Amino acid sequence: MSSGEQVSYRSFLLRLRNLAKKALDQYGLKGMNPKFKGYSGNGLYQVDVPLARKSEGSIPPGRYALRLHQPNYMKPEYISSEMEWLSALRRANISVPAPFRNSEGNWLTVVEGEHTPPAHRNCTLLSWVEGREIMKGVRPKHYKSLGRVVGKMHEQSMHWRKPEGFARPHWDWEGLYGDGFDYGFSAIEAREAIPKKYQDEFTDVLNRVDEAAGQLGKGKKAYGLIHADLGNVVYHRGEARPFDFDDCGFSYWMFDLGAVIADYMYERDGRNPKIREALIEGYLETSPLAESDLGYLDLFVAARFAQFMFFYQGNIVKYPHYREEGEKDVAECAKYLKSTLRKLK
**Do 270 and 180 share a structural domain?**
yes
**Do 77 and 33 share a structural domain?**
yes
Work out the percent of the chain whose per-residue pLDDT is above 90. Answer: 83
What's the chain's length in residues? Answer: 345
245-289 tens-digit pLDDT: 999 999 999 999 999 999 999 988 778 899 999 999 999 999 988
pLDDT over 50 at 21, yes or no = yes
Q: How many domains does the chain have?
A: 2
Q: pLDDT value at position 5?
A: 59
**Do 85 and 225 share a structural domain?**
no
46-93 tens-digit pLDDT: 999 998 766 566 799 999 999 999 988 999 999 999 999 999 999 999
pLDDT over 60 at 3, yes or no = no
CA distance 100 to 108: 9
Q: What is the CATH number of the domain that holds 150?
A: 3.90.1200.10
The mean pLDDT value for 329-334 works out to: 97
Which helix (H) or strand (E) segment is 121 a member of?
strand 120-127
* Contact by Cβ (8 Å): 314, 190: yes
User: Which of 96, 127, 158 is the last residue before a domain boundary?
Assistant: 127
**Do 97 and 198 share a structural domain?**
no
User: Which of 106, 127, 148 is the last residue before a domain boundary?
Assistant: 127
**pLDDT band at residue 2 using 50, 70 and 90 as cut-offs:** very low
CA distance 80 to 93: 20
CA distance 278 to 285: 11
pLDDT over 60 at 105, yes or no = yes
CA distance 245 to 37: 17
**Do 235 and 145 share a structural domain?**
yes
CA distance 345 to 342: 5
Is 49 in a helix, a strand, or coil?
strand
CA distance 97 to 127: 5
DSSP string, 123-143: EEEEE---SB--SSS--HHHH
Of 9-13, 154-158, 219-223, least confident by mean pLDDT is: 9-13
**Do 144 and 123 share a structural domain?**
no
Pairing between strand 249-252 and 120-127?
unpaired
Give me the helix-helix angle, 140-159 and 253-268, nearest 10°: 150
Q: Which domain holds residue 227?
A: 140-344
**Do 165 and 43 share a structural domain?**
no
Strands (E), 12-115: 35-40, 42-49, 62-68, 99-100, 109-112
182-207 tens-digit pLDDT: 999 999 999 999 999 999 999 999 99
**Do 260 and 206 share a structural domain?**
yes
User: Whole-angstrom distance between the N-terminal and C-terminal Cα of the chain?
Assistant: 56
**Do 37 and 150 share a structural domain?**
no
* Contact by Cβ (8 Å): 257, 294: no
* Contact by Cβ (8 Å): 223, 251: yes
**Do 324 and 186 share a structural domain?**
yes
Residues 6+ positions from 152 with CB-CB distance below 8 Å: 92, 94, 286, 287
**Do 320 and 279 share a structural domain?**
yes
Q: What is the CATH number of the domain that holds 98?
A: 3.30.200.20
* Contact by Cβ (8 Å): 275, 140: yes
